[in-house]
Amino acid sequence: MTTFNADRFAKVLALASSDHDGEALAALRKARDMLKAAGKTFSDVIAEEAPVVVYAQPTAPTFTDIFTGFEDRMEEMEPGWKAKRAAEQAERTRKRAAYRKAVIEKYGSAEAAVAPCWREQKVRAALGSLITPCEQPWARWTHHIENIGHCGDFFGFKEVSQQVRAAIETAYTLPTTIQDAHAEYEAWREREREIEAAENWQTGDTALDLAAYGRMERVRMLLETELPARDLSDLLFRSRYYRALECQDDRIEAAIHRDLESLVMHAPHATSVGAPPSRRPRKTKPKAATAPADPRQRDLFPENGATP
């Protein structure tokens, strides 16, 4: 289990207030992953890391942690609260142990599990001399990269040079469909979980090295916004993926709307933008009026022979 870094968590959480939805979403994901790696919940962080300043006198401030005895108060308000939390923690521990056992059985040993897979090997080989390694004692393969082409942040590829971008994209063929992009993205996420388990969750904020993370991020961009939906199946797939994120991202919503408009306009019998489907044209020649059957009303229709 990773040691929780409260200062870094606070910095990451501060980014969640960014005006850019993508950056804010990434910050929330990072904060969630940090909590997960440390085996904590947000309530745990508040209880452990949030001392509140209470000023007894304006000239003599004192510091009191109002969360002291928090668990006892919760138990008093909700009998069985401690037992429930303990059971939840025990279940998380059990699932982690079972998953770690499965990973080690899959690869044969913890050491073999963290050895680079074929995707990682190809990406690192493509980047080659662009990789700047970490110095000791941080140099181990999962976290041995200090930067790539002087870039240490691959979120959104905003700071990535064309040379680094090209190397990552051509390390092996990029996905060309939304569902293929999702398959590779999930493969990277599973690979990260495997490394975390093999290292007994002592990998820090992320288990993937910078090269692997860069490739995963590039594929995520294809999945969420860049690849067009070829048909309604692709559109539905992206919509379900977005719904599963349980967050709001204007970029993904814009991509879904773009794809919907494109599919509608290229559908058979599609009309011009903004125009509803045309109705059957009305007949230009109206039916001839006929006189009522009642003789008392025939004088209203002189065209039928009545005299006004």
Check residue 141 and give its pLDDT.
47
The larger pLDDT score, comparing residue 215 to residue 284, is at: 215
Give the mean model confidence (pLDDT) for residues 278-302: 56
What 3 state SS string does the chain have? Answer: CCCCCHHHHHHHHHHHHCCCHHHHHHHHHHHHHHHHHHCCCHHHHHHHHCCEEEEEECCEEEEECCCCCHHHHHHHHCCCHHHHHHHHHHHHHHHHHHHHHHHHHHHCCHHHHCCCCHHHHHHHHHHHHHEEECCCCCCCHHHCEEEECCECCCHHHCCCCHHHHHHHHHCCCCCCCHHHHHHHHHHHHHHHHHHHHHCCCCCCCCCCCHHHHHHHHHHHHHHHHHCCCCCHHHHHHHHHHHHHHCCCCHHHHHHHHHHHHHHHHCCCCCCCCCCCCCCCCCCCCCCCCCCCCCHHHHHHCHHHCCCC
Spatial CA neighbour of 197 closest among 91, 87, 114, 88: 114
Q: What digits encode the pLDDT tens for the residues 120-146?
A: 999 999 999 988 877 665 544 445 677
Q: What digits encode the pLDDT tens for the residues 109-126?
A: 999 998 999 999 999 999
Q: Is the pLDDT assigned to residue 195 strictly greater than 80?
A: yes
Q: What are phi and psi of 172, to 5 degrees?
A: -155, 165
Looking at the DSSP assignment, which residues form a beta bridge with residue 57?
60
Q: Which two tokens stand for residue 252?
A: 């993904």
The larger pLDDT score, comparing residue 284 to residue 103, is at: 103
Give the mean model confidence (pLDDT) for residues 176-205: 89
CA–CA gap between residue 196 and residue 1 (Å, rounded): 9
Amino acid at 210: L
| Contact present, 174 and 216 (Cβ < 8 Å) | no
Residue spans of the domains in the chain: they are 1-68, 75-264
Give the mean model confidence (pLDDT) for residues 234-255: 94
Residue 114, number of CB atoms within 10 A of its CB: 21
